[in-house]
Amino acid sequence: MTEMETLIAEVRQLRAEVRQLHAAHTPVHIRHGWMGLLLKDLSTNPYTQYKVHKWGAIYWLINFPLICCLFFFTPTLWLKLGIFITLIYSIYSNLATDYGAMSAAEAAFGAPQLPPIPLEPSPPIVFEQGDDGACDVG
């Protein structure tokens, strides 16, 4: 079997494992079917995740100077809106963190565990000097 055939067989095996993982999940019945497609696309498609995070970063970059102006130039309005803004951003940050962790866990679902880290140090490498003065690993 050539290297290319081996790689193709490995890709086919990985795709079969992914199909098994997706089949193992119980479907969630959502009244609005498009919402399920959107959430699945958001959790599995890196391009969609990139677009969402790109627009989120643009939103935060635009919003930052506006919030600073609100804080410095209208302190009375800041007292009214500041707590609400802080609450909304706090909820968003917690949701984004938890959703990111869930997406990472889902991506790692079914993956084999990493090999254990040995607790004992490896034996030192001994260098021996030969007759010609060169060091040989022994």
The pTM score is 0.43
| Tokens found for residue 81 | 């809106």
Indicate the pairing of strand 135-137 with strand 127-129.
antiparallel
What span, in angstroms and rounded, lies between the C-alpha atoms of 130 and 104? 53
Reported as a single tens digit per residue, the pLDDT across 23-51 is 776 666 656 667 777 777 877 777 887 88
Using DSSP's 3-state secondary structure scheme, residue 138 falls into coil
Residue recorded with tokens 């940050």: 93
Reported as a single tens digit per residue, the pLDDT across 62-81 is 988 988 898 899 988 988 88
What span, in angstroms and rounded, lies between the C-alpha atoms of 103 and 83? 30
